[in-house]
């Protein structure tokens, strides 16, 4: 199994997280694809999101069955459409995307 982590930091709690705003592609499209292609197939075992006590940092952790499964997810065209919108929004409001952490567990 492989654990991936990534943190995002926003400048203020007055800045909404990407999942709190409406993007051009509904979050449900992302969610439905995740369920069908990754959860139902056992490729992703779990995901968790934790927001720091001060509300400024969000940390995502995902546990995947293998690096190959994560790589498939990472290039998924349906998910990438949503991620581009998310990244564009984050850039526009100064949410900083940290590096991807990878650990074999």
What's the pLDDT tens digit per position in 46-72? 999 999 999 999 999 999 999 999 999
CATH number at residue 34: 3.30.70.100
* Stated pTM of the model: 0.91
* pLDDT band at residue 86 under the 50/70/90 scheme: very high
Number of structural domains (the chain) is 1
Which of 22-31, 37-46, 47-56, 83-92 has the least mean pLDDT?
22-31
48: containing domain: 2-104
Give percent above pLDDT 90 in the chain: 90
If phi > 0 it is left, if psi is from -120 to 50 it is alpha, else beta; for residue 50 that is beta
47 three-state secondary structure: strand
pLDDT of 26: 86
């Amino acid at each position: 199994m492989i654990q991936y982590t990534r943190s995002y930091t926003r400048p203020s709690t007055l800045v909404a997280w990407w999942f709190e705003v409406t993007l051009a592609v509904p979050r449900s499209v992302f969610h439905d694809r995740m369920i069908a292609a990754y959860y139902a197939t056992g490729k992703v075992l779990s995901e968790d999101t934790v927001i720091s006590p001060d509300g400024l940092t969000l940390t995502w952790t995902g546990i995947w069955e293998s690096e190959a499964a994560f790589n498939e997810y990472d290039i998924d065209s349906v998910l990438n459409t949503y991620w581009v919108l998310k990244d564009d929004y984050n850039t526009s409001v100064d949410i900083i995307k940290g590096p991807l952490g990878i650990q074999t567990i």
